[in-house]
Amino acid sequence: MSERTKIVLDESKLPRAWYNINADMPVPPEPVLHPQTLEPVTPDFLSVLFPMSLIMQEVSTEPYIEIPEPVREVYRLWRPTPMFRARRLELALDTPAHIYYKYEGVSPVGSHKPNTAVPQAFYNKEAGTKALTTETGAGQWGSALAMACNFFGLDLEVYMVKVSFEQKPYRRILMESYGAQVFPSPTEHTQYGRSVLAQTPDSPGSLGIAISEAVEVAATSGGVKKYSLGSVLNHVLLHQTVIGEEVLQQMEMAGEYPDIIIGCTGGGSNFGGFTFPFLRENFKNGKNTKVIAAEPAASPSLTKGKYAFDYGDTAKMAPIVKMHTLGHSFVPPTIHAGGLRYHGMSPQVSALVEHGYVKARAVPQLDTFKAAMTFARSEGIIPAPEPTHAIAVAIEEALKCKESGDAKVIAFNLCGHGHFDMAAYDTYLKGNLEDYDYPEAAIEAAMAELPQVG
C-alpha cells in the first residue's frame, strides 16, 4: 500500500448502518426545549416539522441504525467516496507527516450534504409528506435536498441566504434544474421575512433567518409541508457517519491509523460524520486520536461562544437546544464560507468540545484561502470555502511535524469542491479578500438575548 495515492473501497463495502454516538456519549444529552414554554418538547411538537421516523432517530440510543435499501441504492451513485494520500501536498510542505483526505466532493452536487438529504427525503416520502421546505447558506445543502426530493418525488421550497443567492447564481440554477423553487431570504412572503425587511431593508440574511422562514412555511401549511434541516440535529449527524465508517476501512487498507483528524464546523454535520466513528474507537477501543474542529474566526461559536440553551433560529420558532452559541440574533459577517455562517452548533459536537473530547480552533478567512491555494496547486482540487478551514489546520499540524520531525498521520474531511465558488477565489486572487475582526460588540448584544432557562 505504501505507493498508493487513491484508497478506493468496492461498492460491496458501502456501510449497512449509521453509527449513533448517543449510545456511547460520555456525557448524557441535554433535553430539547419547547421555544415558548421552555419545557422539554414532546414528539407531537416535533411532528409538525418532521416525520416520526426521523424524530425516533433524533432521540435513539441504539448504537447502529440500519440504512434502508432505497437509500443505499441512491448512495451507490457516488459512494463509497475515495480517500487520498496527499503525497504532493506533503512534498510541497516538506513535512514528514502523512496527510490523508476523504473526498466528499464526488457526490453529484459536490458535497457531503446528500448523505442526509437522501434519507430525509426517503423517510418523508414513506410518511406521506408532499413537499419539504428548507434553508440553504452556500447552496450546497439546497442542491443536495433538491436532488433528493427529485429522486423521491417531493416538491421543495428553498430559502437561500440573500448574500449567497447573489454571490452564487449557479447554485440557484442547479437547484431549479432539479425542480426546486428558490427564494432569497429574507423574503416578503413570510411574516418573519417581512418583519426583518421592515427593520433592515438591506439585510444580507443569515442561516438563522432562513431557518425561521422555512420553519414558518412548514408549520403553517396544515401538515402538507414538512421542514428539513441540513445540519445541527442528531439525525443529520447520524446519517453523515457513513463518511467516517468508510474512512475507518480505508485507513485500514492504507495500513495506518490517524493521530489527528480534522473537520470544518458550520452546524457540525460533516465534522460529526467524519469523526464520530473515530471517537467511538477512542471511547471503546483504546484509540487516542486527537480530534479538531476548524471554524471561521468571524463566526466562532465553539471557541468564543457560550455553552448555553439557545434557539436554533432567529425568530425563536425552532426548538431550544444546549449548544455553543453566539446568540440567535447574531448575524455573522458575510464571509465566503456561507455554510459556516451559523450562530449555533450541533448539541452533540458542543457537548464533546465542552467536556474536552474534541478541540476547536478558529481560522481567519485569508488564512483559509491561502491554505486552499497551497492545496489546489499540489493536489489539483479547488476546495469549497468551508473545508479550507480544515485544510488550514491540517497544514498547520503538518508544519508542526516538520519542526518536530514527527511523522504523524493526519486526516481531514474535504467535504466539498469549490466549483461554484469562483467569485470568492476571484476576489482572493485579485487581493480584495478581507479578514473580519472578531465581531465582539454584535456577539455581546446577541448574548444578552439568550433564553433564561432555569
Tell me the closest approach of the beta carbon of residue 390 to ligand PLP, in angstroms.
9
Distance of CA 37 to the CA centre of its chain: 29
Q: Which C-beta is closer to ligand PLP: that of 97 or that of 158?
A: 158
Indicate the residue among 90 and 295 with the shorter CB distance to ligand PLP: 295
Minimal CB distance to ligand PLP: which residue?
Answer: 339
Contact 361, 285 (CB under 8 A): no
CB of residue 364 to ligand PLP, shortest distance in Å: 17
The one-letter amino acid code at 251 reads M
Residue among 340 and 446 whose Cβ is closer to ligand PLP:
340
CB of 253 to ligand PLP, least distance (A): 25
C-alpha cell at 144: 443536495
In the complex with ligand PLP, the residue whose CB is nearer, 292 or 340, is 340
Q: Is 350 exposed, middle or buried (0-12, 13-18, 19+ CB in 10 A)?
A: buried
- Cα–Cα distance for residue pair 164/147, rounded to 1 Å: 19
- In angstroms, give the least distance from the CB of 1 to ligand PLP: 29
Name the minimum Å distance from CB 19 to ligand PLP.
17
Residue whose C-alpha is closest to residue 413's, from 298, 239, 273, 300 = 273
- With cell 426521523, the residue in question is 54
**Maximum Cα–Cα distance across the chain:** 63
**Least separation in angstroms between CB 15 and ligand PLP:** 18
Can you give the length of the chain in residues? 454
SS3 state of residue 288: coil
Residue among 107 and 329 whose Cβ is closer to ligand PLP: 107
Nearer to ligand PLP, 97 or 339 (CB): 339
To ligand PLP, the closest distance from the beta carbon of 94 in angstroms equals: 29
Tell me which residues touch ligand PLP (CB under 6 A): 111, 137-138, 140-141, 231, 264-271, 339-340, 384, 386-387, 415-416
| Cell numbers that stand for 364 in this block | 481567519
CB of 339 to ligand PLP, least distance (A): 2
| Nearest residue (CB) to ligand PLP, 154 versus 302 | 302
C-alpha cell at 304: 468564543
Cβ closest to ligand PLP, residue 143 vs residue 329: 143
- Give per-residue burial for 413-438: e unless 16+ CB within 10 Å, then b: bbbbbbebbeebbeebeeeebeebeb
CB closer to ligand PLP, 267 vs 439 = 267
Per-residue CA distances from 319 to 57, 158, 165 (Å): 16, 20, 26
Angle at 293 between CA 287 and CA 295, to 5 degrees: 175
How far, in Å, CA of 41 to CA of 27, rounded?
A: 20
- Asked if 192 and 216 count as a contact pair (C-beta separation under 8 A), the reply is yes
Q: Are 49 and 124 in contact (CB under 8 A)?
A: no
Closer CB to ligand PLP, 251 or 264, in the complex: 264
Least Cβ distance, residue 224 to ligand PLP (angstroms): 26
Contact 264, 415 (CB under 8 A): yes
- Find the shortest distance in angstroms from Cβ 46 to ligand PLP: 20
Q: State the Cα–Cα distance between residues 246 and 442, nearest whole angstrom.
A: 41
What is the distance, to the nearest Å, from the Cα of residue 196 to the centroid of all Cα atoms in its chain? 25
